[in-house]
Structure 1
Amino acid sequence: MSAGAPILPEGKSETGDVMLNARLVLLSALMIGAAASSAAESERSLQVEIQSPSAGFTVEDGATNIEVEGIASAIGGVRYLDIMFVMDTSGSLRSSDPQDYRSLGAIGLIENLSPKSDIKIGVVSFDKKSDLAQPMTSSREHVINTLKLLPRSGSTNLAAGIDAAVAELERNGRPGSSRVIMLFTDGMSSKNKAYDAAVEATKLGITIQTLMLGTSNKGSKILDTIAWATGGSFLPVADPALLPEAFLNLRTTGVDSVTLSVNGAVPVPARLAGGTFAASLPLEVGENRIVAFATSLDGETKESSITVNVRDTSCAALEVTAMNDGRPAVSLNDRSVEIVVDASRSMWGQIDGVSKMQIAKETLEDVSYWLPADIDLALRAYGSASASE
C-alpha cells in the first residue's frame, strides 16, 4: 500500500460491517489512482499560517487588542482555500427542510470565514442533473445570493453534483490551495456512480466533506464512504434546525483545533470556520511573538509564528534633528536645527487632562529658549488627514 492510500479502520460501529464492505469496494479503485494522485497526497500534511496581521506589522496606538486570522489545513496548502458547495435541490427538501435551513447553514459558514483569508467559493446545485449555479469567485456576497435562490425539485444524483464540482475546481482551482467540496443531501443516490466520482476527486487531491439530513442507513453508508475515501468527515443531522450548527462544526480542512498565544502566555482557543481561524489577542508595548498551534483530526500538530511591534504613544514624541545642507549634522556647532513634531489626530489625546499637543507646544517653547540666537531653526510637522479634514 502506498503512503497516500487510505487506511482501513480497526474498529466497527453498529453499521461497521456494511461500512467496511463499502470501503473495500473503493479500495482497489483508490489503489489504482494512487500513483496519479501522489503529488497531491504529498501535500497532505498539516500546515498553519497566520495571514493577518502580517509579519513585522507595527501598531502605533500603544497596548491594544488585535484580531489574529489565518488558515490551517491538513488537506493542502494554506495560502489559498478553494471551496465548492454541492447542494441537493431535490423536491424532497420541501418536506424534510421546509424552512430551508440547508441554505441558511451554508450562508452561516461563509459569513464566519475569516474576511482577510484568500478564499474562492463556488456553488453546484443538483437534483437528477447538476448545474454550476455560481462559478468560483472571491465575492462572498455573490455566493450568498446564489444560495438564497436555490430551488427544490427533482430527484437526487450525487455523482452529477460531485462531477460538476470537480470540473470547476480543475478549471479555476489554484495551485497549492486546499480544495474541498461541501456536499449536502437529504436522499440516496446511485452508489457506484457516486463512488466513481469520489475516486476522481481523490486523484486530484480534493477532499469531500459530507452532510446528510435524515436517518437513512443506506444514505449514511454512501456519504460516510465518500468522505472516508477522500480524507473528509461525515456528519448526519436528524433535525433540519440543527443544520446551521452542523455546517460550522464540519472540520472543513481536517483541523480539529487552533490555539493562539502571545509571548508565551496561556493559549487562547481560536474560532474555526471552513478552515480559517480567528481570535483576539492582547498586545503589550514592545515586541510581541504570536504563535498559532494547530492540531489535525489525526493528532498531528504544527505551529506558525509572527512578530508584531507595538510603539508607546503614551506621551508626545519629539525628534530633534540637526541638519547641514540637507544632511544630518553631528552637533549644534553646524548652526542648523530642524525640529520634527507629530501633528496627527492622536496628539489631541490627553494625559492627566492636558492634550499631547499642548504638552508638545510647551516642550518646544522650553527647547527654543535655550537655543543660540544665531542658529538656523526649522519646524516640520507631520501627520495624515482624512478627506473630511
Structure 2
Amino acid sequence: MPRKVGAAVALALAAFLVGTASANAAGDPVVNITGIEAKNGNLIGLISASGGASIDPSLTVTVSGKDYPVDAITSGQGTPVARTALLVVDTSGSMGAAGMATARAAAAAFLKSVPDDVRVGVVSFSGKAVVDLAPTGDHGKVQTAVDNLKSSGETALYDGVALAVQTLGSKGERSILLLSDGGDTTSKTTQAQANDALKSGGVRAEAVSFKSTESNVSVLKGFASAGGGSVVSAASAGAVASAFTTAAKTLASQLTFSMPLPPGVIAVQNIKVSGLAGGKGFTTTALVDFGEGVPLPTKSGPASVTPVVGPTEDVVKPSTGATLLPVLGVSPMVGIGMAAVFLGLVAIGVALSAPSFKSGRQTRVDSIDRYVTPGAPLKAKAQNRQTAVSESLVFLGERMMEGRESTSKTMALIERADLPLRAGEWWVLRIVGVVAGIATSMSLLRGGQIMTLVAALLGVVLGLFAPAFILRFLAKRRAKKFDHQLPDVLTLVASSLSTGFSLPQALDAIAKDAAEPSAKEFSRALAETRIGADIADSLERMSERMDSANMRWTAMAIRIQREVGGNLAETLRTTAKTLREREELQRHVRALSAEGRLSAYILIGLPIGIFLYTMQTNPAYVELLWTRPLGLVMLAGGIVSLGIGWAWMRKTVEVKV
C-alpha cells in the first residue's frame, strides 16, 4: 500500500511539472535581438517578441558585466535599423487552387498590418526556388506578385529557405514568413544546410504549417528553432490569415533601443538584454562587434558621442562591393570626374597647340596666302579666342580624319545629305556626341558603381553610333526624294528638248524650275559642264554622288544616244515611264510588307522601352540582370536575340524590285 501511494504521488507530481512546463512553453513569448550593431558611436538594435507580445520599453543592457538602463522606443517612431521580410510561399502541386487562394488572402492580411518601413519581398518554390519579387517598399507590388503565383510541380522547400536567406543579405533586421506543409521532394539543399543558413545569417523564421497530404511539421519546427521563431499550425484559411497577421504584428511591436558605446569595450562581445515581455521576465543575448570601440575618458573629459535619432541614410542601401579604385583611395564617381577633367584639359591643350603641328602643304598654302593678301595674318590675330579654339579643334579633327579609309565614305554621305560640314567638323561633332551620350545615359540609368560604368559604356556607344546613324538617315532620305522627283525631271527635260532646246539649256531649266534636291544637283552638273567636263560624265558623277540607280540608267541612256544618235526626248520619256512603273511597284511591295516592318519595330522597341521604364520605376528589379551571373547571361542572350531577330525580319520584308 505505501508503495502504491508513493507511486501515485510521484505520478501526480510529474504530471503537474509537465503541465506547468507545457503551459510556460505555450505562454512565454520568445524574445530575440535582431539587427544589432555598433554604429556612429552608439549600440543600436531591434528587440521583438513572438506572437506580437508587448515588451516593456524599460530594458537593461549588460556589456562586459556592467548593466546599463535603456529606454526603448516603438519602431513606429522611426528606427535606424533596416527591416526586411520575405514571404516564402509553397507553390507545389500539393497546395492546389485552395492553397493558393489561402496564400493570397493571408498575404493581404499580412500587408494590411505590417509597418510601412518594412521592405517585403516574395520567394516561391515548387520544382525550383525563385525570387518573384525583390524586397521593396511598395506593398502593392507584393500583393500583385502573390496573386500571380500558381500551384504546380514538385516541392523544393530547402532550396526556397536557402534562397530567401541569400536574398535578404546580411544587414539590418531580416525575417522570413514561411507558408508550407513541410514536405520536400527535389531540393539540392539539405535540411541541415537550410537550418545552418538561418542560424549563420541571423534570419528570424516564422512558419505557418499548411495541412496537406505531405505535411511534415517537424521540418518547420526545425526552421523555427534555427531562426528563433515559432510554428503555427493552421487548419483553415482563416487560421492562416490570422497567423500572417500575428507575424505582421510582431514586426509592428518591435522596439528600437539605442545607447552610447561603453568606453573601452572593443572587438566581439556577448551582450545581454533583460526586461519584461507579456508581463514575464526575459533575458536574451547576442554577439556584437564593437570594433575599436570608444576610448576611455581622459583628464580632459569623457569622450562625446552623438545619439542616433530616426532613420539613418544607409538603412536600405545594398552593398555594392569594394571600391573600384583602391589604389587611389577615392570613390568611382570621384575617379570618373577626375578622369573627365584630365581628358578635358588634354583636349584643350592639344587644341591650343594644334596650329603648331602644320603639314608642309599647309605651310606652303599659308605662305601663298600671305603673299597674295598681306593683311591676312593681321586678320587672323584679330580673331577672338573662342574662334581660335574652335578652329584649332577643327584642324585637329582634320588631322585625325586624314588618311582613314572611312573618311571618304563619311564625306560621301555628308555630300549626299547636303550638310555644310568638313571632315574636321564631323570629328568634333562625334566627340560632342560621345560627351552628350554619356551625360544622357548616366542621368537616365542611375544606380551604384556597376550601373554607373554600364551607363558610361552605353553613353560611349550611343555617342559613337548615333551621329553616324542620323547621317545615314539624312543621306538616304535626300536620295529617296531625288529618286522620287527624277521621273518628273526627265519629263520636263524631254519637253524642253521637243521645243527645240539643247540638252544644256534643258538642264538649265531644271536647275531654275525644279524642286530641291533636284535643282541643286542638276545645277552642279551643269556648272561642271561649263568648266569643260563632258555632260554625260557630269551626270554619272551625280548618280554616284546621290547613289541613285535610276540616275545611272538615265546617264547611260544619254551617253548611248550621244554616241549612236536617235530621239533623246523620246528616250527620256520612255525612261521616265519605266521609272514611274518601278516606283509604283516598290510602293506596292512596301505597302504589303508594312505589317511585317511594324511588327519588327514593335518587337525590337518594346523590350528596350520596358527596360528604360522599369529602370525609373523599379531599378532593384532590373539590377538583377547585371548583379548576378544568370542575369548577365540573360542580358547577353536577349541582346543577341534582338540582333538576330532584327536581321531576320529585315531580310524577310526586304524585296528587291
| TM-score, normalised relative to structure 2 | 0.28
**Structure having the larger proportion of residues in strand:** 1
Choose between structure 1 and 2: higher helix proportion: 2
**Greater RCO, 1 or 2 (C-alpha within 8 Å, sep 6+):** 1
* TM-score, normalisation: structure 1: 0.45
Which of structures 1 and 2 has the bigger CA Rg? 2
